[in-house]
Structure 1
Amino acid sequence: MATLHFELVSPERVLFSGEVDQVVLPATEGEMTILAAHSPVMTALTTGFLVLSTGGKTTRILVRGGFADVSPNGLTVLAERAFNEDELNKDVFDKEVETARQELGDAPEDMKHVAEMALAQLLTIQAEFH
């Protein structure tokens, strides 16, 4: 199977950089699977799990917003916030839920629905982890 170069960057760090078989993105339009030689595209991300697969192994990374850019060079994800699955615990979820509620309160009226969706997705993921 052909691979593609994938890089996941958050403001704090590079979470992943290397070759993968595929990446499933939590795009705002719905989940997108990116494989080698995918057509160039740019999309916004929502709160959800980004799933990367390589050599039969899958890794899930929680992303909270951002953008994905597919180019001839591969896939680059710039996440607003991102956490490896093994970093997720009650304290992380509590802080992220608090941040999402703050973002909802601060959102302009025409963007409240986006902030509500992000909070709802985060609460759903949090419930699955407990």
Structure 2
Amino acid sequence: MADTMQFDLVSPERSLASFQVNAVQIPGADGDMTAMPGHTPVITTLRPGVLKAEGPDGAKEYVVSGGFAEINATGLSVLAEKAIPLNEMTRAHLDELIADARAKHESAKETFKNEPGPVDDAAKLLADMVALGDHIAL
């Protein structure tokens, strides 16, 4: 088994990372997980949270708002809805993410009046965004 694997993180705006890692902690929608070289192939959705990539040159952290992670034989690819390096995250970024989540929740309440599933999903997204701010102390 190799000591490292390829890690790529992209968002619609830009490519944020492409380097070798020993492990990546992923904020999965069904629970946090750590991907390491030799991990079983899997695709998972992301919840808002901090993604931490640990490599030979140290650890790098990114705030992600959602998206997908694919682990395969060659490495890990993360396609994030929005991603920002943690050291670049500001209160203004967080306020924007929360405002977007709040707008999605309000839209879901209007669109899905008798369908609690989508409204509950939007409420969870909003709660996750607020919790993210507490987690990163913004």
Question: Residue 111 of structure 1: which of 97, 118, 121 is its match?
Answer: 118
The reply on whether 1:46 has 2:71 as its aligned counterpart is: no
Query: 1:62 offset after TM fit, Å?
Result: 0.7
Structure 2 unaligned runs (5+)? none
Query: 1:115 offset after TM fit, Å?
Result: 1.8
Q: What is the number of equivalent residue pairs in this alignment?
A: 130
Matches within 5 A, 1:18-33: 18-33=19-34
SS in 1 for 2:32: strand
Query: 1:57 offset after TM fit, Å?
Result: 2.2
User: Normalising to structure 1: TM-score of the pair?
Assistant: 0.92
Separation (CA, whole Å) in 1 of partners of 2:66 and 2:132: 14
User: Normalising to structure 2: TM-score of the pair?
Assistant: 0.87
Matches within 5 A, 1:1-130: 2-55=3-56, 57-107=58-108, 108=112, 109=115, 110-128=117-135, 129-130=137-138
Separation (CA, whole Å) in 1 of partners of 2:46 and 2:68: 5
Q: Which has the larger radius of gyration?
A: 2
Query: Match for 1:121: what amino acid?
Result: D
* Structure 1 stretches of at least 4 aligned residues deviating more than 6 Å after TM superposition: none
Query: 1:54 offset after TM fit, Å?
Result: 1.2
Query: 1:58 offset after TM fit, Å?
Result: 1.9
